Amino acid sequence: MTKKIEKSFSFARERYAGLGVDVARALKILSTIPVSLHCWQGDDVGGFENFGGTLGGGLAVTGNHPGKARTPDELRADLDKALSLIPGKHRLNLHAFYGEFGGKKVDRDEIAPGHFKNWISWAKQNGLGLDFNPTCFSHPKSADGFTLSNADKSIRQFWIEHCIRSREIGAAFGKALGKTCVTNVWIPDGCKDTPADRVAPRARLAESLDTIFQKPISPKFNLDAVEPKLFGIGSESYVVGSHEFYLGYALSRKKLLCLDAGHYHPTESIADKISSVLQFMPEILLHVSRGVRWDSDHVVILNDDLLAIAREIVANGFAQRVHIGLDYFDASINRVAAWTIGTRNMIRALLIALLEPTAQLRAAENAGDFTTRLALQEEIKSLPFGAVWDFYCAGKNVPVGESWLAEVKNYEKNVLSKR
């Protein structure tokens, strides 16, 4: 820690104290909030199966920056690099097709915890938690656009089995690591054009999900989440698992709802949904992402949407009830940098939220003094949070400011460019 960082920090701390904000307390809380990094940023949502599938389900990754991870070891090395640039202890979110199948063709309905043993020991070594997702896309049996809601019973059964096994893998993660795993079901099911029947696929989806979740699993080991979407590429006219579908499903079946920031209308923010759904369900999962026009998966930047999400979690004391995951994929820039930028931004947004003089804002609001509320909301935007962020990074032994970039450039030169 340099003297300059300490000095700037102490000025900042005083400034915040003047507004009744305890910076030390904010930093303490910040270090307890994990962010789940999505493994799929590292290889363009490719996975490690051995049957040459191509990306499907309406997911698209643009760009061909050199050095994408081709093996689990490469992906773990890239994650190690990213994690060394991100302050705090976090989690990794795995997709089912990132199992290690030893060159064998192991189909989705055959996966088991053993295929993830290297991931478990890597997570253990690094003190990370693991989250999980069944992979219901990029597969011949999802090629017609329907998985759990498919009209063909045998195809439905295949995906049901895949999801049942995925929950068991999630539970194995939770047990092995002593940290609860969240297993999130997202399926691509939907139609490019107007369907004649919107009901039947939804009825089949509800039934498939009920079968998947039949076996009770201790919430100590695994929590189930379901993820709605408004539209996707190739499912512009109809998505079986819409917001209302899964909101109803999660509420009635006591599951976690997953809110993906890129899955709503462009002006609709998930920040405002948090306090609504948490009135009626104990916990939710977030996929923090950034929609840009047609795409729902740009790298997370420190914009108003992100600040609002973090603010809603922190100001309401929801950190224990909101599981924060990231979900974006960009192959046009260095992938390790993409993880680092997005995750650092998520943490930085949480810090800014923790430094908010919420008590003062609410006092003004309760007194009907909306002038003060607005004035304060605007003034706090230029408070010296950067000095606190630098201090936090230095204290966690990760690079301060843009200095992490040189490490990524070195890694690109020495490792990624040689792939």
Q: Is 22 a known active-site residue?
A: no
255 touches ligand RNT by CB under 6 A = no
Q: Which residue lies nearer to Zn ion by CB, 327 or 330?
A: 327
CA atoms of 349 and 313, how far apart (whole Å): 11
Which of the following is catalytic: 81, 229, 255, 273? 229
For residue 327, indicate whether it is catalytic. yes
- The nearest distance, CB 239 to ligand RNT, in angstroms, is 10
Locate all alpha helices (DSSP H) within 178-301, ordered by sequence: 199-212, 243-253, 271-277
380 touches 307 (CB < 8 A): no
Q: Closer CB to ligand RNT, residue 232 or residue 357?
A: 232
Catalytic residue from among 43, 44, 131, 227: 227
238-239/190-191 β-pairing? antiparallel
Nearer to Zn ion, 191 or 285 (CB): 285
Does 287 qualify as catalytic in the annotation? yes
Residue choice 43, 327, 390, 412 for contact with ligand RNT (CB under 6 A): 327
Distances (CA, A) of 314 to 86, 275, 345, 381: 20, 11, 15, 16
Find the length of the chain. Answer: 419
Task: Name 296's Cβ contacts closer than 8 Å, sequence gap at least 6.
Answer: 229, 232, 260, 261, 262, 263, 289
In the bound state with Zn ion, the residue whose beta carbon lies nearer, of 36 and 394, is: 36
- For residue 28 the two structure tokens come to 């303490």
What whole-number distance in Å separates Cα of residue 411 and Cα of residue 419?
Answer: 12
CA gap 199, 207 in Å, rounded: 12
Choose the contact partner of 133 out of ligand RNT, Zn ion, none; CB within 5 to 8 A by kind. Answer: ligand RNT
Restricted to residues 265-294, the positions that interact with Zn ion (CB under 5 A) are 287
- Candidate list 97, 158, 186, 339; residue touching ligand RNT; CB under 6 A: 186
We find the least distance from the C-beta atom of residue 232 to ligand RNT, in angstroms, to be 6
CB 93 within 8 A of CB 133: yes
Nearest CA among 383, 344, 393 for reference residue 13: 383
Identified catalytic residue from 44, 297, 330, 390 = 297
| Position 260 contacts ligand RNT (CB under 6 A) | yes
- CB of 97: closest distance to ligand RNT in angstroms? 10
Is 186 labeled as catalytic in the residue annotation? yes
Taking the least distance from each CB to ligand RNT, the nearer of 141 and 287 is 287
Within 212-231, which residues bind ligand RNT (CB under 6 A)?
Answer: 227, 229
Exposure b/e, 205-233, CB count within 10 A at least 16 = b: bbebbebbbeeebeeebbbbbbbbbbbbe
Where do contacts with ligand RNT occur on this chain (CB under 6 A)? 40, 45, 133, 186, 227, 229, 232, 260, 287, 327
Chain residues in the site for Zn ion (CB under 5 A): 260, 287, 327
Please identify every residue annotated as catalytic.
186, 227, 229, 260, 263, 287, 295, 297, 327
